[in-house]
């Protein structure tokens, strides 16, 4: 009798518990997450597929394709989606958010910057926003170092010599600037700025200075001195821009700030193109008001092949490849995916911008 009672109780528990578990799994899988581009890393997709029904655009979400075929597909796919993974340099439009409707709870941008994410609209609709900082800092810092070397050692001119097969041979030909013994100024000592200082430490830099809203304990640990922006501009041989684009930082490098730099100064931008007034930069470089510039970011992107900056010999430009390594892009994809998982399972965002 006791044994029969035990079996009956166990059977009752299995019958009632298993459907409940199944229902929870089905509820999770029924949540839809839209990935905006066809080139999102597989590592990130694997994370999302474990939890949700994943919809993904068939098109790349960059350049002309991103504002034609991709745009129309996203408008068709987003209704009813609970999460959106934004893999693009194009802005999130009000039209897209209207199409998403009230079901959209979270946007995860696969980027450190989020100026393209329409913060006002997301905040007004109560939609959470996450980004992918820190995981890309090492890779972007490596590009910053590359731009420093490329601009200082006149890579644009020297590569042109190689392509033409006409080398300027001589003891005093195409001489560059030394990093050794220089003063390097970091505008924005966040994750990227700190990673730049760490990587340049082996170059025998004479002094590191930085500026920002406040002095940071990390600066002291790295041996970097906190100064005002004006002091940094006046002292630095190399100036590295590593701040996000905001209303405060837009065109922070302009004719006025360029005039405060040393004649041998080299400007490096790994933040966003609009940190720099490019017309003012063109004039400063053309007139040899500053020595050179190295840019991984421009306005617009891609920079037109006939843009006047590309006519200058003292500028070294890369096509926004700061985070473009296999490992970094995979890490960004996984972090973006896990932010969506957390948001839709009631957990805090890992890297929140809006909560």
251 is catalytic: no
* Angstrom distance (rounded) from CA 36 to CA 86: 5
- Whether 83 and 31 have beta carbons less than 8 Å apart is answered as yes
Which of these is catalytic: 51, 61, 90, 320? 320
CA dihedral for 239, 152, 297, 144, sign (positive or negative): negative
* Angstrom distance (rounded) from CA 247 to CA 298: 17
Non-local CB neighbours of 73 within 8 Å, separated by 6+ positions: 57, 58, 59
**Residue located via tokens 């360029």:** 258
How do beta strands 128-130 and 352-354 pair? antiparallel
* Angstrom distance (rounded) from CA 58 to CA 39: 9
Residues designated catalytic = 320
């Amino acid at each position: 009798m006791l044994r029969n009672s035990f079996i009956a109780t166990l059977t009752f528990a299995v019958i009632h518990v298993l459907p409940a578990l199944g229902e929870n799994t089905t509820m999770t899988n029924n949540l839809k997450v839209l990935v905006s581009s066809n080139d999102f890393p597989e590592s990130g997709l694997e994370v999302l597929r474990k939890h949700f029904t994943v919809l993904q655009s068939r098109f790349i979400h960059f350049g002309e394709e991103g504002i034609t075929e991709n745009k129309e597909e996203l408008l068709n796919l987003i209704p009813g989606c609970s999460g959106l993974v934004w893999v693009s340099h194009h802005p999130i439009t009000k039209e897209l958010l209207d199409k998403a409707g009230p079901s959209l709870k979270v946007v995860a941008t696969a980027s450190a910057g989020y100026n393209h994410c329409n913060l006002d609209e997301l905040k007004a609709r109560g939609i959470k926003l996450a980004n992918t900082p820190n995981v890309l800092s090492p890779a972007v810092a490596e590009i910053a170092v590359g731009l420093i070397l490329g601009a200082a050692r006149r890579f644009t001119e020297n590569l042109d010599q190689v392509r033409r097969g006409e080398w300027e041979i001589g003891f005093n030909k195409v001489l560059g600037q030394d990093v050794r013994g220089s003063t390097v100024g970091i505008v924005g000592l966040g994750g990227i700025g700190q990673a730049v200082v760490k990587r340049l430490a082996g170059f025998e830099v004479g002094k590191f200075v930085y500026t920002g809203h406040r002095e940071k304990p990390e600066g002291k640990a790295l041996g970097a001195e906190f100064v005002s922006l004006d002091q940094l501009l006046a002292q630095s041989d190399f100036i590295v821009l590593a701040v996000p684009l905001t209303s405060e930082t837009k065109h922070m490098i302009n004719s006025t700030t360029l005039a405060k730099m040393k004649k041998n100064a080299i400007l490096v931008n790994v933040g966003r193109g609009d940190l720099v007034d490019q017309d003012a930069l063109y004039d400063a470089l053309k007139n040899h008001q500053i020595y050179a510039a190295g840019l991984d970011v421009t306005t617009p992107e891609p920079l037109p092949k006939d843009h006047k900056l590309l006519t200058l010999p003292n500028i070294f430009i890369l096509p926004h490849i700061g985070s473009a390594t296999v490992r970094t892009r995979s890490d960004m994809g996984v972090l973006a995916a896990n932010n969506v998982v957390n948001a839709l399972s009631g957990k805090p965002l890992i890297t929140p911008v809006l909560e």
